[in-house]
């Protein structure tokens, strides 16, 4: 199973969601069964590490962000079984890139996996204060637990 997490620049939300999902998978004993990656719909930050503010907010609660920003590619639609986007704008952008109807079916909002979420979008903290980054970490972890629950249910029914 391969999951790709996508936001705008791939330096805040999607690397945090990637780290949160890796953490949740490890806690569930599923880390060897699922490959996780992240990408962005824009190339402004390609090659850069995660945003330092996001990295600090994640590190404050024991979450380690890794990798370098990259742009989503057409071959990601073939490689990924599930493409999870952070907001409706990302959703539209990714669906527009999808090469086939089958590829479009792989795309979902990441936060839709959190049954307690009041909204289905992960807000972009880039232009806000530190509280936005802390909030994204909390949101990413809650959605990650939901993704893992769904994967476990699928595994039980397979």
Alpha helices in 28-72 (DSSP H): 52-59
**Which residue among 7, 22, 141, 145 is the active-site one?**
7
The answer to whether 150 and 110 are in contact (CB under 8 A) is no
pTM here? 0.97
The reply to whether 124 belongs to the active site is yes
Give every strand in the sheet of 82-85, ordered side by side: 35-40, 2-7, 82-85, 107-109
For residue 112, the 8-state DSSP code is G
The reply to whether 81 belongs to the active site is no
User: Domain-by-domain residue ranges, the chain?
Assistant: 2-157
Q: Would you give per-residue pLDDT tens digits along the chain (158 residues)?
A: 999 999 999 999 999 999 999 999 999 999 899 999 999 999 999 999 999 999 999 999 999 999 999 999 999 999 999 999 999 999 999 999 999 999 999 999 999 999 999 999 999 999 999 999 999 999 999 999 999 999 999 988 87
**Which residue among 87, 124, 141, 145 is the active-site one?**
124
The reply to whether 31 belongs to the active site is no
State whether residue 19 is helix, strand or coil: helix
Q: Using CB atoms within 10 Å of the CB of residue 14, give its burial: 0 to 12 exposed, 13 to 18 middle, 19+ buried.
A: buried
**Which residue among 12, 13, 51, 53 is the active-site one?**
13
CATH code at 2-157: 3.40.50.2300
């Amino acid at each position: 199973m391969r999951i790709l997490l996508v936001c705008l620049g791939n330096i805040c939300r999607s690397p945090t969601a990637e780290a949160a999902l890796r953490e949740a998978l490890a806690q569930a004993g599923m880390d060897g069964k699922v490959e996780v990656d992240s990408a962005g719909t824009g190339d402004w930050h390609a090659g850069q590490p995660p945003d330092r503010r996001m990295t600090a907010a994640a590190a404050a609660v024991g979450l380690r962000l890794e990798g370098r920003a990259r742009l989503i590619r057409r071959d990601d639609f073939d490689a990924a079984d599930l493409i999870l986007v952070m907001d409706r704008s990302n959703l539209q952008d990714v669906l527009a890139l999808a090469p086939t109807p089958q590829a479009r079916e792989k795309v979902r909002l990441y936060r839709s996996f959190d049954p307690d979420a009041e909204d289905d979008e992960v807000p972009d903290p880039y232009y806000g204060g530190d509280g936005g980054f802390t909030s994204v970490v909390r949101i990413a972890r809650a959605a990650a637990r939901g993704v893992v629950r769904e994967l476990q249910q699928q595994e039980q029914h397979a």
